[in-house]
Structure 1
Amino acid sequence: MHTPLPASAAPVVAGAGTSRVLWIDVAKGLSILLVVLHHAVVKNLGLDAPEPLAAVAAGWGAVTSALKPVRMPLFFVLSGYVAARAVHRPWAQVRRRALAPYYTYVVWLLLLGAFFSVERLLPMNRTQDLGELAEDLVWASTGVWFLYALALYFVLAKLLAGLPAGWVLGGAALVSALSSQLGIEQWNRFSVLFHFTYFALGALAPRVVRRLAEGPRGRWGGLLPVAAAYVALAVLLARLPLPISVHLLVASVVGVPLGLRVAAVLARSGPPARLLGWVGRRTLPIYVLHTVVLASLLHLPPLVDLEEGSVVRGVLHPLVVTAVAVLVSLAAHWVLLRLGATWLFTMPGRPARARRQAPRRSTEVRASSSEGPYQVSSRPSTSSQGERSASGPSVAVNS
């Protein structure tokens, strides 16, 4: 059984009838916001910015590139961390962990494929025909590759769970380091190959992740030295002619601890922690819907008019677009659930845990795509305080 973080380092928040470790939800919230910001920069700002703001666009591009070794590696570490006990359970008890994200992947592969076959402005990895669709069912190349990877990584981690964790992590890291040398053209397929190391770290070495999140005692929890080390490492790596996979892997050695420490420190920040935790419990609808919002914005009057060449507007543009994409995605999710479209976000059928708890009276409809970082609620239900709650089902860190 995993020992939870001390209360000072890991505030908990009530939700779904159990306690959630708040820093995990905060980390998920940070990660999904960074994902949306990245797409707002490389897709929307790249199309909207006129020539006078090329330097601003390049600056934003440098910022989001510098965060690449943090956002997705951190997400996968968290995914593996919450699956750490499940990888040691019998297949009959945990097969939904693999089937549910793959089901959600297929649903959104088809829906987004249909949408982006009509919408052609947003730069996207589009599925062009039935042949490419068949390939994507086997090896994801589109923007919903994360869900595919969650299913694949859980199966791999479970198959390898009986081996020494050090050997598994060493082999996974070697594959990650070599992945950019294999001639893979699609970035998302490269990403599927590259990121298993991080899921394996969380699933097979959860104590390491917990120690990284705990950090030293104190208000800033050792955050500033880690941040300084990350900046210094990023500057050094930029000067070295390394393959991109080696560059990302080495940078993530500091980037992942940085993300964990930022989340742990923010988890003690009061209102910001509650807001980020709230977002972190709703990452699935943001993940699958935000590119639809970004594409739609290209066909509407601009949120931030950049034609005058205002540097301030150029700096604010990705932030405004990110906020709108997140809010509209969550609003669309709210509407879809109330129309009964829960099948868009969760595999039909009751999880085994829910069946074991029956016939307890409950109005909850659980909707976890993976019982990992991408979780989403499809209820309404009532919390123990009698308040309306929309938080997703919790997977206890030490369960």
Structure 2
Amino acid sequence: MISKPRELWVDVARAVSVLAIILFHFLIWVYFPGMHERSPSLVGVWEKVADFTSTFRLPLLFMISGFLAGPRIRDGFANRKNVLSAATNAWLYVVWLSVFAICSIVIKPGLPLRVGSVDSYFKQLILPRTIVWFIFALVLWTLVLSLLRRVPPGLLLAATFVLSCTIWYAPRPSGEMYVQVLYYGFFFTLGVYAPRIIRWLAAKPVWAKLLLSTVLLAVAIYLIPLIPRDVAGVGSVLRTVKDSLVAGAALPVAALVAFTPLLGKALAYIGRRTLPLYVMQLPILWAVIMVRPRMPWGTSAFQVLSPFIGLAGVVIAALALHWILVRTPARVLFELPTMFSRWIRGKTMQS
């Protein structure tokens, strides 16, 4: 059976999400520390950019991930691809946590998200504290939703929405990211069980959907902040609603960009490679942070352009390294080894 080609806007949306994530990390780890005393006005502009992208970069990425996984997840474990997907992501999580731990041996202490000890490494097999918590979340929510396939979708959406609104009140030891894992489960579930809405937002006529997108953004940015937060829990509910509106508003924009010949194809190319970009950004940014003091922060042009240069540099470096590594035995950094995938396929076919 020949699978249907993926729609271009899906990969554009994935690209926008991962580029926003990389830009955010470059800003908080490289740009802000280098610029905080040199140009407060420029720092203020980029802080606003970082704040705005926080409303869609991960909600959109989880929503699209759920949208893509939805057809098989709705089949439950009757679809053996769910077991294979969970196993693949579990492998990727352990492999990249191990890569980060090895890198942490040679890099200087104090760098962000460093795996500081053997004890920390083993704890993170269950409680993630690095950027690969996103992959951990994919494993968890794939298994949970596959297991609960017979539960009415409306009930699952309501339950994950309540979870996303209340999880912020749970005790959270410094650095542990299980709260994010549980919060973004709602957006993954939304992608799984609301594919028609997602596809409708990205469908033609795009200009009409862009008008709706503008309305959603206006509500999220200007009206929601005006709602009083005197009652306990209102703030967390409004956060989930706001993130949902902005993520939904991003879909018509992604569809419009997908119709732009060069830009659409370039972003779709990036969107099909979100895994290497996402996982490799951390070691690349560690290298950038170590040379940060020697960067020409006193140059006006560098002050203005460095976020764009940094984003482009991380993307190019990650894509180049990925291109090299997948042509060597190191390709197991990005895929489940064949012996394991064959074993899982054989077991699921026997069951």
Q: TM-score, normalised by structure 1?
A: 0.77
Alignment of 1:121-136 (within 5 A): 123-136=111-124
Alignment correspondent of 2:255: 264
Alignment correspondent of 2:335: 346
**Alpha-carbon offset, residue 303 of structure 1:** 9.1
Alignment correspondent of 1:19: 5
The one of 269, 282, 297 equivalent to 1:291 is: 282
**Alpha-carbon offset, residue 228 of structure 1:** 4.9
Alignment correspondent of 1:78: 64
CA–CA distance in structure 1, aligned partners of residues 224 and 147 of structure 2: 34
Kindly indicate whether the alpha-carbon contact (under 8 Å) linking 2:160 and 2:185 is maintained by their aligned counterparts in 1.
yes
Distance 1:166 1:301, change over 3 A: closer
Distance 1:230 1:187, change over 3 A: farther
Q: Higher mean Cα deviation, 319-328 or 128-137? A: 128-137
Kindly indicate whether the alpha-carbon contact (under 8 Å) linking 2:34 and 2:292 is maintained by their aligned counterparts in 1.
no
Alignment of 1:84-163 (within 5 A): 84-87=70-73, 88-89=75-76, 90=78, 92-120=80-108, 123-163=111-151
The count of residues paired between Structure 1 and Structure 2 equals 336
The one of 183, 187, 193 equivalent to 1:198 is: 187
Instruction: Please provide the CA RMSD for this pair.
Output: 2.6
For each residue in 1:276-329, what CA deviation from the matched residue of structure 2 results, as whole angstroms up to 9, or x when unmatched? Answer: 000111111111111211121233377962224x3x533322111000000001
For each residue in 1:343-384, what CA deviation from the matched residue of structure 2 results, as whole angstroms up to 9, or x when unmatched? Answer: 1100112757xx89xxxxxxxxxxxxxxxxxxxxxxxxxxxx
Kindly indicate whether the alpha-carbon contact (under 8 Å) linking 1:122 and 1:298 is maintained by their aligned counterparts in 2.
no
For each residue in 1:20-66, what CA deviation from the matched residue of structure 2 results, as whole angstroms up to 9, or x when unmatched? Answer: 21111111111111111111111111221151312322321221111
- Which amino acid letter does the alignment assign opposite residue 196 of structure 1? G
Alignment correspondent of 2:349: none
CA–CA distance in structure 2, aligned partners of residues 316 and 99 of structure 1: 41
Q: Would you say 1:230 and 2:217 are equivalent positions?
A: yes
CA–CA distance in structure 2, aligned partners of residues 276 and 303 of structure 1: 31
Kindly indicate whether the alpha-carbon contact (under 8 Å) linking 1:80 and 1:199 is maintained by their aligned counterparts in 2.
yes
CA–CA distance in structure 1, aligned partners of residues 3 and 219 of structure 2: 44
Alignment correspondent of 1:31: 17
Distance 1:235 1:183, change over 3 A: farther
Kindly indicate whether the alpha-carbon contact (under 8 Å) linking 1:194 and 1:245 is maintained by their aligned counterparts in 2.
no
Alignment correspondent of 2:168: 180
Kindly indicate whether the alpha-carbon contact (under 8 Å) linking 1:125 and 1:141 is maintained by their aligned counterparts in 2.
yes
Structure 2 gaps of 5+ residues are 347-351
CA–CA distance in structure 2, aligned partners of residues 293 and 270 of structure 1: 30
For each residue in 1:160-218, what CA deviation from the matched residue of structure 2 results, as whole angstroms up to 9, or x when unmatched? Answer: 2211111110110000001111122436322101000011111122222222222x625
Distance 1:316 1:247, change over 3 A: farther
CA–CA distance in structure 1, aligned partners of residues 283 and 218 of structure 2: 33
Distance 1:75 1:301, change over 3 A: closer
Structure 1 gaps of 5+ residues are 1-15, 357-399
Kindly indicate whether the alpha-carbon contact (under 8 Å) linking 2:89 and 2:136 is maintained by their aligned counterparts in 1.
yes
- 3-state SS of the aligned residue for 2:56? helix
CA–CA distance in structure 2, aligned partners of residues 261 and 72 of structure 1: 17
Kindly indicate whether the alpha-carbon contact (under 8 Å) linking 1:36 and 1:322 is maintained by their aligned counterparts in 2.
yes
- Give aligned-pair identity as a percent: 28
CA–CA distance in structure 2, aligned partners of residues 91 and 132 of structure 1: 35
**Alpha-carbon offset, residue 109 of structure 1:** 0.4
Distance 1:80 1:232, change over 3 A: closer
CA–CA distance in structure 2, aligned partners of residues 76 and 200 of structure 1: 9
For each residue in 1:241-272, what CA deviation from the matched residue of structure 2 results, as whole angstroms up to 9, or x when unmatched? Answer: 57764343121221111121111111111111
Higher percent of residues as helix: 2
Kindly indicate whether the alpha-carbon contact (under 8 Å) linking 1:81 and 1:203 is maintained by their aligned counterparts in 2.
yes
- Which amino acid letter does the alignment assign opposite residue 29 of structure 1? A
CA–CA distance in structure 2, aligned partners of residues 221 and 187 of structure 1: 42
- Which amino acid letter does the alignment assign opposite residue 325 of structure 2? L
Distance 1:306 1:208, change over 3 A: same
CA–CA distance in structure 1, aligned partners of residues 308 and 109 of structure 2: 20
Q: TM-score, normalised by structure 2?
A: 0.87
CA–CA distance in structure 1, aligned partners of residues 185 and 244 of structure 2: 14
The one of 236, 245, 267 equivalent to 1:276 is: 267
Q: Would you say 1:246 and 2:237 are equivalent positions?
A: yes
Distance 1:194 1:268, change over 3 A: same
- Which amino acid letter does the alignment assign opposite residue 251 of structure 1? K
CA–CA distance in structure 2, aligned partners of residues 257 and 201 of structure 1: 11
Alignment correspondent of 1:391: none
Distance 1:97 1:180, change over 3 A: same
**Alpha-carbon offset, residue 274 of structure 1:** 0.4
CA–CA distance in structure 1, aligned partners of residues 212 and 176 of structure 2: 32
**Alpha-carbon offset, residue 123 of structure 1:** 4.5
Distance 1:250 1:299, change over 3 A: same
- Which amino acid letter does the alignment assign opposite residue 70 of structure 2? A
Kindly indicate whether the alpha-carbon contact (under 8 Å) linking 1:117 and 1:126 is maintained by their aligned counterparts in 2.
no
